[in-house]
């Protein structure tokens, strides 16, 4: 049993944007003490917790942090070092949903320091009493998930326990039961516990102390642990919310009221089809990354065809001189009717299958499709039709774009070989087979169109079917994405092979 006190001194946190969240704040959490820290939304509670747990994300920019964190004989200068003394139970649990409940605990135990093995396992067992170790995380209730998360954090052996919104999303019984368990852990293990929470009703009876993050003075100050005192303190701080609510209650139009009224006015439902179509067309075709991806793919293909076509052939010298015209005409014809459509199809179908499957998988996992049904929105029709049309348009347009960059790269490579020759000579031979084809050119274009259409329909169809299957976790979405890519690309290869055989069947 520990009798040590967590002490935070002169804590100042300034965000990368220069906003002071707290200035020279002091607070303590004693052994066997359960302390609540409260404050308005966005006041900086999570930032304080992240600072105490050494989890400030430096990718956001340069955080300015000062102050010390001490626990017994240990002390950390937060301006220069990260603290590893506080274990955090994240808001939303952050459980590894590709692992079972038991594996979630086991992985923490396997990475815990040896000193943590001496802790009494009794309180942890009480958290997991109604959960089977092999139980998938997806099948656990909200309360069970929260308790697994707490157990996982305790197993890791941190001397201090911090919880971020632990009762978020729990029913009142589960919330009270959880609060009791936390308090038991706190008393039995002598662990200081700090809880950041909005809904404190169930936690308040067990709290030893309540700290308020004062957004006016940017300090942390204690308030009496009763609801009346807390509400009065919070009302004084939450000015914006207070004003808005007062205005609504008094009938005064809120600043955004007119915008909300416009949103609530009825209109033609088909605009939502246009909205979804625009969204998919952008992400599947017109976004900069997609355009650059296909442009680059075409350019590399053009370079490779020309470079290796002329250079690394047994009769390379002849190809470059007396057989030049026919070699160039052959490369141009094959590149235009076979290679570029195939590579463009593979690139587009692979990428778009992933996007489609991820999009529909997330909609399935987050129950958006039932919500649409409930609101009488023909969501499936909007989404599926938009995807089919946008993907086919995407493949057609991007194949043309890839043809342009492939031809351009082929020309540049040819000019490296033959810097003295005029570009018109290249044009004459590169497109000769197509120009000489006459009316047969339309047949060739028809075959290319058929390959594109079938690849797009099969690829997007497979991605839609796989994406719409029930999803239990993020991992199942990941697996579905991988499956959609493999199946989509395989169908694309088969489509091109099938039509290529028909195209050149004599």
Answer for which of 64, 81, 217, 252 binds another protein (CB under 8 A) is: 81
Structure tokens at 432: 């000769």
Answer for which of 96, 119, 388, 418 binds another protein (CB under 8 A) is: 418
Answer for which of 405, 413, 476, 495 binds another protein (CB under 8 A) is: 405
28 with 219: CB under 8 angstroms?
Answer: no
User: To which H or E segment does residue 211 belong?
Assistant: strand 209-214
What does DSSP say about strands 209-214 and 64-71: parallel, antiparallel, or unpaired? unpaired
Smallest gap from residue 295 Cβ to another protein (A): 6
Q: Integer distance in angstroms from the first to the last C-alpha of the chain?
A: 88
302 with 404: CB under 8 angstroms?
Answer: no
Of the pair 116, 472, the CB lying nearest another protein is at 116
| CA–CA separation, 252 and 239 (whole Å) | 17
Q: What would the x/- binding string for another protein be over residues 268 to 287, using CB under 8 A?
A: --------------x---xx
* Angle at alpha carbon of residue 366, lines to 360 and 370, rounded to 5°: 80
Of the pair 77, 120, the CB lying nearest another protein is at 77
Answer for which of 313, 431, 465, 473 binds another protein (CB under 8 A) is: 431
User: What letter does residue 80 receive in the DSSP assignment?
Assistant: T
Number of residues that bind another protein (CB under 8 A): 54
Smallest gap from residue 180 Cβ to another protein (A): 32
Answer for which of 122, 326, 443, 498 binds another protein (CB under 8 A) is: 326
| CA–CA separation, 371 and 155 (whole Å) | 39
196 with 209: CB under 8 angstroms?
Answer: no
Structure tokens at 143: 């309360």
The three-class DSSP label of residue 63 is coil
| CA–CA separation, 42 and 150 (whole Å) | 24
Of the pair 58, 110, the CB lying nearest another protein is at 58
Answer for which of 21, 35, 76, 220 binds another protein (CB under 8 A) is: 76
Of the pair 42, 253, the CB lying nearest another protein is at 42
The three-class DSSP label of residue 256 is coil
Answer for which of 424, 442, 470, 505 binds another protein (CB under 8 A) is: 424
| CA–CA separation, 349 and 356 (whole Å) | 10
- Asked whether position 330 contacts another protein by CB under 8 A, the answer is no
Smallest gap from residue 320 Cβ to another protein (A): 5
Smallest gap from residue 478 Cβ to another protein (A): 21
Smallest gap from residue 340 Cβ to another protein (A): 13
| CA–CA separation, 145 and 98 (whole Å) | 14
Smallest gap from residue 133 Cβ to another protein (A): 30
- Label residue 93 left, alpha or beta by phi (over 0 means left) and psi (-120 to 50 means alpha): left
Answer for which of 41, 262, 420, 505 binds another protein (CB under 8 A) is: 420
Of the pair 145, 351, the CB lying nearest another protein is at 351
- Asked whether position 307 contacts another protein by CB under 8 A, the answer is no
Of the pair 75, 300, the CB lying nearest another protein is at 75
Answer for which of 324, 433, 471, 496 binds another protein (CB under 8 A) is: 324
| CA–CA separation, 30 and 331 (whole Å) | 79
Of the pair 272, 418, the CB lying nearest another protein is at 418
Shortest CA distance to 211 belongs to which of 405, 8, 445, 409?
Answer: 8
Smallest gap from residue 409 Cβ to another protein (A): 8
Smallest gap from residue 69 Cβ to another protein (A): 10
CB atoms within 10 A of CB 377: 15
- Asked whether position 427 contacts another protein by CB under 8 A, the answer is yes
Structure tokens at 457: 């329909």
Q: What would the x/- binding string for another protein be over residues 217 to 256, using CB under 8 A?
A: ----------------------------------------
Smallest gap from residue 53 Cβ to another protein (A): 12
| CA–CA separation, 400 and 448 (whole Å) | 11
Sequential DSSP letters for 150-169: HHHHHHTT-SEEEEESTTTT
Answer for which of 42, 222, 241, 422 binds another protein (CB under 8 A) is: 422
**CA separation, residue 445 to residues 305, 334, 336, 441, 451 (Å):** 21, 13, 10, 6, 10
> What is the footprint of another protein within residues 13-72 (CB under 8 A)?
54, 57-61, 68, 70
> What is the footprint of another protein within residues 152-191 (CB under 8 A)?
none
Structure tokens at 377: 């929105």
**CA separation, residue 435 to residues 61, 232, 426, 441, 444 (Å):** 58, 83, 14, 8, 12
> What is the footprint of another protein within residues 343-402 (CB under 8 A)?
401
Answer for which of 19, 20, 42, 84 binds another protein (CB under 8 A) is: 84
- Binding residues for another protein, rule: CB under 8 A, are 54, 57-61, 68, 70, 73-77, 80-84, 282, 286-288, 291-292, 295, 316-318, 320-326, 401, 404-405, 407-408, 410-411, 417-418, 420-425, 427-428, 430-431
């Amino acid at each position: 049993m520990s009798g040590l006190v967590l002490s935070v001194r002169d804590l100042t946190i300034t965000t990368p944007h220069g906003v002071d969240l707290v200035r020279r704040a002091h607070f303590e959490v004693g052994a066997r003490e359960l302390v609540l820290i409260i404050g308005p939304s966005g006041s900086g509670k999570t930032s304080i917790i992240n600072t105490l747990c050494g989890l400030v994300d430096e990718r956001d920019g340069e955080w300015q942090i000062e102050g010390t964190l001490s626990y017994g004989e240990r002390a950390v200068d937060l301006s220069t070092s990260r603290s590893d003394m506080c274990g955090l139970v994240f808001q939303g649990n952050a459980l590894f949903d590709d692992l079972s409940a038991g594996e979630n605990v086991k992985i923490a135990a396997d990475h815990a320091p040896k000193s943590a093995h001496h802790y009494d396992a009794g309180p942890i067992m009480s958290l997991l009493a109604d959960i089977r170790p092999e139980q998938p995380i997806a099948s656990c209730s909200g309360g069970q998930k929260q308790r697994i998360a707490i157990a996982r954090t305790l197993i890791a052996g941190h001397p201090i326990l911090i919880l971020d919104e632990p009762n978020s999303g729990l029913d009142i019984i589960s919330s009270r039961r959880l609060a009791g368990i936390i308090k038991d852990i706190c008393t039995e293990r002598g662990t200081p516990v700090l809880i950041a929470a909005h809904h404190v009703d169930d936690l308040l009876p067990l709290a030893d102390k309540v700290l308020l993050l004062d957004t006016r003075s940017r300090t942390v100050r204690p308030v009496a642990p009763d609801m009346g005192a807390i509400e009065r303190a919070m009302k004084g701080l939450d000015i914006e919310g207070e004003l808005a609510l007062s205005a609504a209650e008094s009938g005064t139009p809120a600043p955004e009221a007119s915008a909300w009224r416009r949103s609530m006015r009825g209109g033609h439902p088909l605009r939502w089809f246009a909205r979804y179509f625009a969204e998919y067309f952008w992400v599947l075709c017109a976004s900069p990354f997609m355009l650059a991806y296909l442009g680059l793919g075409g350019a590399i293909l053009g370079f490779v065809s020309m470079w290796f076509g002329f250079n690394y052939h047994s009769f390379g010298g002849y190809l470059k001189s007396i057989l030049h015209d026919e070699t160039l005409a052959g490369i141009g014809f094959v590149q235009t009717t076979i290679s570029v459509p195939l590579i463009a199809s593979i690139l587009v179908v692979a990428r778009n299958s992933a996007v489609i499957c991820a999009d529909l998988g997330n909609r399935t996992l987050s129950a958006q499709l039932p919500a649409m049904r409930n609101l009488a929105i023909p969501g499936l029709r909007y989404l599926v039709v938009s995807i089919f049309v946008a993907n086919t348009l995407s493949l057609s347009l991007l194949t043309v774009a890839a043809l342009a960059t492939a031809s351009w790269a082929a020309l540049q490579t040819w000019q490296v070989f033959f810097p003295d020759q005029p570009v018109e000579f290249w044009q004459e031979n590169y497109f000769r087979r197509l120009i000489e084809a006459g009316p047969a050119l339309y047949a060739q274009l028809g075959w290319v169109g058929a390959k594109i259409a079938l690849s797009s329909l099969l690829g997007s169809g497979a991605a839609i079917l796989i994406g719409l299957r029930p999803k239990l976790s993020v991992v199942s979405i990941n697996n579905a994405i991988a499956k959609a890519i493999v199946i989509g690309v395989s169908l694309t290869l088969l489509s091109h092979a099938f039509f290529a055989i028909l195209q050149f069947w004599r």
